[in-house]
Structure 1
Amino acid sequence: MAENDQTNLERQFAVQRTYLKDLSFESPNAPEVFRGEWKPQNELNLNTKVNRLDEQTYEVVLSVTVTAKVGDKTAFIVEVHQAGIFTLGGFSEEELGPMLGAYCPNLLFPYAREAVSDLVTKGSFPQLVLQHVSFDALFAQHQQQAAAEAEGARQH
């Protein structure tokens, strides 16, 4: 009977809240950077962090950092930590990884993208709209790298 109860557990997913946890904007070479031709090279860095709050509640923090350089000078650095509190019930341990590492960041990314765009525009730079990111692919790549590193560690 206990096995039937476990297999009949319904999966529950809820977004409790999304919020801006931290943000920063720097323009270390202003005003000089405004005087030249605007042909920036943008570098995007993404990271996620998961904090378990209780048995079914998690905080997921998506960190987005964009560095724009014109030549060898940094035009701006913008960093946004967009967070969310999510309730996940009825998921197996194997299912929790993709939910927390891909699905939740996919939900947070549009908020982070908007914050980046707003900060860049308020810094008096042309609007920067980040392209869509496939967190599913990034999660799968991370899992493959972790498996390869674990395999390498076992061989030594």
Structure 2
Amino acid sequence: MAEEATAQQQQAQMRVLGQYIRDMSFENIMSQKGGNADVQPDVQVEVNLDAKKRPTENQYESSIKLNVTSKDKNSDATLFMLEVDYVGIFYIANIPDEQIHPFLLIECPRMIFPFLRRIVSDVTRDGGFPPLNLENIDFVQLYRNELARRQAEQGAPKADA
């Protein structure tokens, strides 16, 4: 009986305590310039992740920063730009220290991404464009790419100034 209680206490715990838009900017450049509606959009999406410990015990925040740029394939003119910094606040307990970093940059963004996807869809639609439905993001691959980039940076010889 005591063993079951101990095992249950040590089980990993995670709860979303809140989520919010820290910063957002949408610029409809096509309308500002009086562009026509006969365009073939080419959408580029940049994703950056960040996470940090909050002052309260077992609380962390994880953020997804998106930079979305849509250009006309024919003229390369920018149609719109959207920047969003979306944050989730999490209660996380019983995760080993060596696993907290990947947890914050993989599992936490995975939890809040559907809400961010909806915001992007609504903002682009309300901005006069067809709703932009973001593809799923492979947060594991993003994490691996960042680790590889950091290792390459550390291993690369410094250029003479």
1:23 maps to a residue whose letter is M
Percent of aligned pairs sharing the same letter? 29
1:63 aligns with: 65
| Structure 2 residue aligned with 1:103 | 107
Per mean C-alpha deviation after superposition, the further-off stretch among 112-121 and 48-57 is 48-57
Establish whether residue 143 from structure 1 lines up as the match of residue 142 from structure 2.
no
Report the number of matched residues.
148
State the alpha-carbon separation in 2 of the partners of residues 118 and 12 from structure 1: 32
Aligned to 2:44: 43
Corresponding residue SS for 1:51: strand
Q: Which of 102, 118, 122 is the matching residue for 2:122?
A: 118
Deviations 1:91-144 (A, max 9, x none): 122211111011111112111111111111111111211111100111011112
Tell me how far apart the structure 1 counterparts of residues 119 and 35 of structure 2 sit (CA, whole Å): 22
Q: TM-score, normalised by structure 1?
A: 0.85
- The alignment status of 1:152 with 2:156, answered yes or no, reads yes
- Output the CA distance in 2 between the equivalents of 1:102 and 1:35: 40
The CA RMSD measured in Å over matched residues stands at 2.1
Q: Tell me the TM-score normalized by structure 2.
A: 0.82
d(CA) in 1 for partners of 2:96, 2:151:
20
5+ residue gaps, structure 1: none
Displacement after TM superposition at 1:36 (Å):
4.4
